[in-house]
Amino acid sequence: MFKGSIVALITPFKNNKLDEDSYIALIHHHLKSGTSAIVPAGTTGESPTLSHKEHERVIELCVKESKDKIPIIAGTGSNSTDEAISLTKYAERVGAKAALVVTPYYNKPTQEGLYQHFKAINDNCSIPIIIYNIPPRSVVDMSVDTMARLFELKNIIGVKDATANLNRVDEQKKKMGSDFLQLSGEDATALEFNLRGGAGCISVTANVAAKLCSEFQDAALSKNNSNLLAKAKEINDKLMPLHKSLFIESSPSPVKYAASLLNLCSEDVRLPLVKVTEQTKKVVKSALSHANLI
């Protein structure tokens, strides 16, 4: 159910308020562009600065507007276990098909703390849970052994891996087997990630290159077809400058600027994030042009 090009959806703002009209339009854009699943209220959706009401609203809208055409994987993580449980319960109640739960940031829990955090969410909810392991943002790195312990629980099904360490794909596959879902959290290394056993990517770039990312994933996941693999490499080369440009400054500021150039939404972000510099704008524009998106 969860594979291919999964967009980590941006949250549009207007005058520092949730822009529901643009948000709904974005959802339908992905429904028409081959996106495999949508992640609302993740890091790219600026979840740390969404109010609880807004966080629930973007999940609810995503489920409602998608009408089960593609699965919704709700971002429900928090550095508060109680809050993560509450958000995951809400996502389950409104019809999300899974939850993406980030390792608790700032607290710096031990491996046992990470295990108990995810176990508590697992024990209080009934939808599939995907671990989001992103040491650069959360400061903690969940070990493969801890993931293996969690995979024994009823609802833990896999990981969004943003460690930037491709060897982790092999280590996790060896430890947990092929049934453990591995999704890349790094657009730039998604091709190699898939070739090593990944099932797709939760993508930032898909916000502005939805069709290309979908075509790329479809080709990259056809591992035994040399023609499709060649197509995946061709698309990957086309998108690589864009992948890199979207992280010159703190995400999602660059991708929101790119989205504004494509008339998908405004470039507005919430403090402490700010709009990108003029120099970054030039790089993003050039990358969009390289991908034939403008």
Report the distance separating Cα 215 and Cα 57, nearest Å. Answer: 30
Report the distance separating Cα 78 and Cα 104, nearest Å. Answer: 6
Tokens of residue 191, six digits: 């091709």
Report the distance separating Cα 131 and Cα 74, nearest Å. Answer: 12
Q: Do β-strands 17-18 and 13-14 pair in parallel, antiparallel, or remain unpaired?
A: antiparallel
Main-chain phi, psi angles of 80, to 5 degrees? -110, 120
Amino acid letter for position 54: E
Strand, coil or helix: 129: strand
Burial track 228-253 (b if 16+ CB lie within 10 A, e otherwise): bbebbeebbebbbbbbebbbbbebbb
115 catalytic per annotation: no
Q: Which distant-in-sequence residues (6+ apart) come within 8 Å of 172 by Cβ?
A: 144, 147, 159, 161, 180, 182
Cα 156 to its chain centre, rounded Å, is 17
C-alpha distances in angstroms, 31 versus 7, 26, 146, 217, 231? 11, 9, 35, 16, 23
Burial track 193-208 (b if 16+ CB lie within 10 A, e otherwise): bbebebbbbbbbbbbb
160 catalytic per annotation: yes
23, 90, 97, 160: the active-site residue: 160
Report the distance separating Cα 212 and Cα 80, nearest Å. Answer: 37
23, 90, 115, 132: the active-site residue: 132
Name the residues annotated as catalytic. 132, 160
